[in-house]
A and B are shown apart, each in its own frame.
Chain A
């Protein structure tokens, strides 16, 4: 066995052994730290949207002249947008997918201490399921005559019916069929009956952050309350969305006293929802991979030095009958011992580092499986960095010893 000579040689080259150990330990700490941060940032990242977001345009105009007749301009807007040939369907809404503001709470009972369920409520006319291309799972969609239209504070009554998403149905009624049940969208308000269940679509950043991306409720309601209501969701023919943005903007500007804030394809809304997290994670990943590269090169450089130093020793061993593989194995084993010691120290440091990060951010990011995976990966890279120069060294001709002596 080679263990004994390896320890002797490590004892002989204490400085280099220390360097390798420290390097492995710190690399493991930094790598696993940034990996843990990356995975915690990317949790719930880029989930399926559930809608053909490439073909849906969201338009958010805003009235700065409060005298404008919103009801009339709503009719005009819809007529003008529908007149565009490439437009398939349009619906006036107050929230858009990927962009749901805040978190709304709903209840299963009227009582004051009823349990709260978090969701996002989307409003729209009968076209909305068609615009979003939602598929019906149970029940039915809204009918034209069920849509309530009006200014928020002047509505005679809220619509007595709602539709809910599949994910919402599972949360509210895990054991029963949700269809036909009643829910309360506000405490003390009239209840609403669930008339249909539709396929999931993404609500927005707020609930996504809590892993509740697909909790949504549709209300058959066309309403406006503040200057930015209503906005429009417009589904257009495949591939036409980008070319239509300017046209739609100009159509909306035909109403005076209005500012057209944002006309964009929902793909961009989706990008905006994720981009803060995405850019942060990518930055960490780039740093981590450069670090790994540097470590690997450093390790290779170090081993090639060790190897050149021991050419004679290798030659002697070869002359005494050691196979090439024996020499390679020796170096790999030596590096393996050092790396393992480094890994053990690194594990302790990594856990401590993860604790500090957790305390800073308030989110528990410690996940041992990532730390072990990083450790395994470092061993792999190091072994590879040793293998290449060692293999070259093993090619030393056995006779070299005799020659140089």
Chain B
């Protein structure tokens, strides 16, 4: 019976091919847009370094004035002042790694005249950065604590910068200039994919940095500090600290450096106690006028706060859901039209003794089949849709970002493909409910009278 029903279902699909095509098209197009938006948000919601993301904490201390506003979450809180980063780095704590990071920029150039200089965004940090964040190296390695302490002129290049400046060879030991400062290459990164660039709190997708240098070296060379300076209201024009007044900045109450601690679970409480003690000790020096408050936020919790603030994609998301709904309603109409044309045939079969269940089975097969085909084409459409979104991003960035950098954010994974089939089949079943119910309730022989 099943084989016979299968045959009937295929025959029916072939019967009025234009209606079948229309129905598959409606589901596939709707699903295509739906899956495009779902994949984008699925990829955007991914967490960088998921295996250690819960251990990596952003450290923020509330050194603001008494009059400052209460902060509800880390995003409303200031980062660290220079002196606090230096003090925290000295905390005696076994098993806890700490790093600091701030952004600067400069022109990377080499002696060879034929290689033109390249404007680069550079991260100033310390040696722990590379071990804490498990940064992959192609050649060489990160610098050691001596390099931090004596602000040695060393640099870690990204793979792309190394390709551009040195043609991709092992450049460890070679010299590169950042503006006019000569630095020695100590390591070259391998491809380092981060779902979001968390370490400078930009949470950008696909804007990798080109080089990493010791923070102390960056201070000594007075490189520009691309940061937001949260200063006490008595500080005039904090923007001046970008390129000037370094000595004043170092002793000021201006918060601007992001600070990270890797805390395996058993260390969390100890670290909290230490932070509390540190704030108390600073209070005795007349700092930290507010109640003891600090934020320790791991990467997962940060992304939760951040993902609530992204607007434009969400609007497109809402539109894509409604779009899918229209396509499904359309599919109901078409399916109804398709099935009701068969009233006569069904009533004949019923009159000849076919059970309701048999009729149900035949039409279910047909609907599931449409669902699978719709799912296949829907995946194809969402692939095209994702490619289109990637082109749009490239165009909108004036081709500054590269397709290779953007690719991971515009890719379907197996999870999404399975999701597409599940959504497609379950939605077509939902769509088929009413038409199938109608056709199954055709009474035997009712349509035969007229003949």
Residues on B with beta carbons closer than 8 Å to the beta carbon of A294? 25-26, 29-30, 326-327, 330
Mark the stretch among B95-103, B298-306, B336-344 that contacts chain A. Answer: B336-344
**A62–B314 alpha-carbon span in the complex (Å):** 39
Using a CB-CB cutoff of 8 Å, which residues 254-269 of chain A contact chain B? Answer: 257-261, 268
What is the 8 Å Cβ interface bit string for chain B, positions 396-440, against chain A (1 contact, 0 not)?
A: 101000000000000000000000000000000000001000100
Residues on A with beta carbons closer than 8 Å to the beta carbon of B311? 360-361
Closest Cβ–Cβ distance, residue B434 to chain A (whole Å): 6
Q: Which residue of A26, A37, A297 contacts B322 across the interface (Cβ within 8 Å)?
A: A26
Q: With A30-B319, A283-B316 as given contacts, are A302 and B109 in contact (CB-CB < 8 Å)?
A: no
- Whether B1 sits at the interface, judged by CB under 8 Å, is no
**A29–B326 alpha-carbon span in the complex (Å):** 11
Q: With A16-B333, A19-B329, A23-B330 as given contacts, are A257 and B323 in contact (CB-CB < 8 Å)?
A: no
Closest Cβ–Cβ distance, residue A229 to chain B (whole Å): 14
- Whether A320 sits at the interface, judged by CB under 8 Å, is no
- Whether B71 sits at the interface, judged by CB under 8 Å, is no
Closest Cβ–Cβ distance, residue B364 to chain A (whole Å): 19
Q: Which 10 A/B pairs are nearest by Cβ-Cβ distance? A: A305-B337, A298-B330, A64-B107, A64-B179, A259-B117, A259-B107, A302-B333, A279-B392, A30-B322, A272-B398
Q: Which residue of B116, B117, B341 contacts A64 across the interface (Cβ within 8 Å)?
A: B117
**A283–B390 alpha-carbon span in the complex (Å):** 12
Residues on A with beta carbons closer than 8 Å to the beta carbon of B66? none
A23 touches B336 (CB 8 A): no
- Whether B332 sits at the interface, judged by CB under 8 Å, is yes
Residues on A with beta carbons closer than 8 Å to the beta carbon of B444? none
B109 touches A64 (CB 8 A): yes
A29 touches B333 (CB 8 A): no
Closest Cβ–Cβ distance, residue A186 to chain B (whole Å): 15
A357 touches B315 (CB 8 A): yes
**A287–B119 alpha-carbon span in the complex (Å):** 38
Main SS class of interface, A: helix
Residues on A with beta carbons closer than 8 Å to the beta carbon of B330? 23, 294-295, 297-298, 301
- Whether B325 sits at the interface, judged by CB under 8 Å, is yes
Using a CB-CB cutoff of 8 Å, which residues 281-337 of chain A contact chain B? Answer: 282-284, 287, 290-291, 294-295, 297-298, 301-302, 304-305, 308-309
A271 touches B398 (CB 8 A): yes
Number of B interface residues in the complex (CB < 8 A): 49
Q: Which residues of A contact B (CB under 8 A)?
A: 15-16, 19-20, 22-23, 26-27, 29-30, 33-34, 37, 62, 64-67, 253, 257-261, 268, 271-272, 275-276, 279-280, 282-284, 287, 290-291, 294-295, 297-298, 301-302, 304-305, 308-309, 357, 360-361, 404-405
- Whether B180 sits at the interface, judged by CB under 8 Å, is yes
Using a CB-CB cutoff of 8 Å, which residues 1-51 of chain B contact chain A? Answer: 19, 22, 25-26, 29-30, 33
Closest Cβ–Cβ distance, residue B340 to chain A (whole Å): 7
A257 touches B333 (CB 8 A): no
Residues on B with beta carbons closer than 8 Å to the beta carbon of A15? 336, 434, 438
Q: With A302-B334, A309-B340 as given contacts, are A64 and B106 in contact (CB-CB < 8 Å)?
A: yes
9 intermolecular pairs with C-beta atoms under 8 Å apart: A16-B333, A19-B336, A22-B329, A23-B326, A23-B333, A26-B322, A297-B25, A298-B330, A298-B334
B323 touches A301 (CB 8 A): no
Closest Cβ–Cβ distance, residue B400 to chain A (whole Å): 10
**A155–B66 alpha-carbon span in the complex (Å):** 42
B179 touches A301 (CB 8 A): no
A280 touches B312 (CB 8 A): yes
Residues on B with beta carbons closer than 8 Å to the beta carbon of A20? 333
**A163–B337 alpha-carbon span in the complex (Å):** 71
Q: Which residue of A257, A258, A260, A279 contacts B395 across the interface (Cβ within 8 Å)?
A: A279
Known: A19-B329, A284-B316. 14 other contacts (CB 8 A): A15-B438, A16-B333, A19-B336, A30-B322, A30-B323, A259-B116, A259-B117, A268-B398, A272-B398, A275-B396, A287-B33, A298-B334, A301-B22, A361-B311
Closest Cβ–Cβ distance, residue A75 to chain B (whole Å): 22
B392 touches A37 (CB 8 A): no
Using a CB-CB cutoff of 8 Å, which residues 159-181 of chain B contact chain A? Answer: 179-180
Using a CB-CB cutoff of 8 Å, which residues 89-115 of chain B contact chain A? Answer: 106-107, 109
**A29–B329 alpha-carbon span in the complex (Å):** 15
Residues on B with beta carbons closer than 8 Å to the beta carbon of A276? 396
**A361–B330 alpha-carbon span in the complex (Å):** 31
B326 touches A301 (CB 8 A): no
- Whether B352 sits at the interface, judged by CB under 8 Å, is no
Residues on B with beta carbons closer than 8 Å to the beta carbon of A357? 315
Q: Which residue of B331, B334, B398 contacts A275 across the interface (Cβ within 8 Å)?
A: B398
- Whether B285 sits at the interface, judged by CB under 8 Å, is no
A253 touches B325 (CB 8 A): no
Q: Which residue of B109, B180, B329, B434 contacts A26 across the interface (Cβ within 8 Å)?
A: B329
A275 touches B395 (CB 8 A): yes
**A67–B315 alpha-carbon span in the complex (Å):** 51
B450 touches A405 (CB 8 A): yes
A301 touches B333 (CB 8 A): yes
Q: With A64-B179, A259-B109, A357-B315 as given contacts, are A16 and B117 in contact (CB-CB < 8 Å)?
A: no
**A64–B118 alpha-carbon span in the complex (Å):** 11
**A358–B92 alpha-carbon span in the complex (Å):** 52
Residues on B with beta carbons closer than 8 Å to the beta carbon of A287? 33, 319-320, 323
Closest Cβ–Cβ distance, residue B136 to chain A (whole Å): 29
A33 touches B319 (CB 8 A): yes
Residues on A with beta carbons closer than 8 Å to the beta carbon of B438? 15
Closest Cβ–Cβ distance, residue B246 to chain A (whole Å): 15
B340 touches A305 (CB 8 A): yes
Q: Which residue of B19, B119, B312 contacts A259 across the interface (Cβ within 8 Å)?
A: B119
A283 touches B26 (CB 8 A): no
B450 touches A404 (CB 8 A): yes
B319 touches A34 (CB 8 A): yes
Residues on B with beta carbons closer than 8 Å to the beta carbon of A260? 116
B336 touches A305 (CB 8 A): yes
A291 touches B323 (CB 8 A): yes
**A295–B327 alpha-carbon span in the complex (Å):** 8
B19 touches A301 (CB 8 A): yes
B29 touches A290 (CB 8 A): yes
What is the 8 Å Cβ interface bit string for chain B, positions 339-354, against chain A (1 contact, 0 not)?
A: 0110000000000000
Residues on B with beta carbons closer than 8 Å to the beta carbon of A297? 22, 25-26, 330
Closest Cβ–Cβ distance, residue A198 to chain B (whole Å): 29
A308 touches B341 (CB 8 A): yes
A19 touches B337 (CB 8 A): no
Residues on A with beta carbons closer than 8 Å to the beta carbon of B341? 305, 308
Residues on B with beta carbons closer than 8 Å to the beta carbon of A257? 180
Closest Cβ–Cβ distance, residue A268 to chain B (whole Å): 8
Residues on B with beta carbons closer than 8 Å to the beta carbon of A280? 312, 396
B322 touches A298 (CB 8 A): no
Residues on B with beta carbons closer than 8 Å to the beta carbon of A271? 398
B396 touches A279 (CB 8 A): yes
Q: With A64-B179, A301-B334, A360-B311 as given contacts, are A30 and B326 in contact (CB-CB < 8 Å)?
A: yes
Q: With A26-B325, A294-B326 as given contacts, are A261 and B434 in contact (CB-CB < 8 Å)?
A: no
Closest Cβ–Cβ distance, residue A273 to chain B (whole Å): 10
Closest Cβ–Cβ distance, residue B180 to chain A (whole Å): 5
**A101–B299 alpha-carbon span in the complex (Å):** 34
Closest Cβ–Cβ distance, residue B331 to chain A (whole Å): 8
**A39–B396 alpha-carbon span in the complex (Å):** 18
**A330–B327 alpha-carbon span in the complex (Å):** 27
**A15–B439 alpha-carbon span in the complex (Å):** 13
Closest chain B residue to A297, Cβ basis? B22
Residues on A with beta carbons closer than 8 Å to the beta carbon of B451? 404
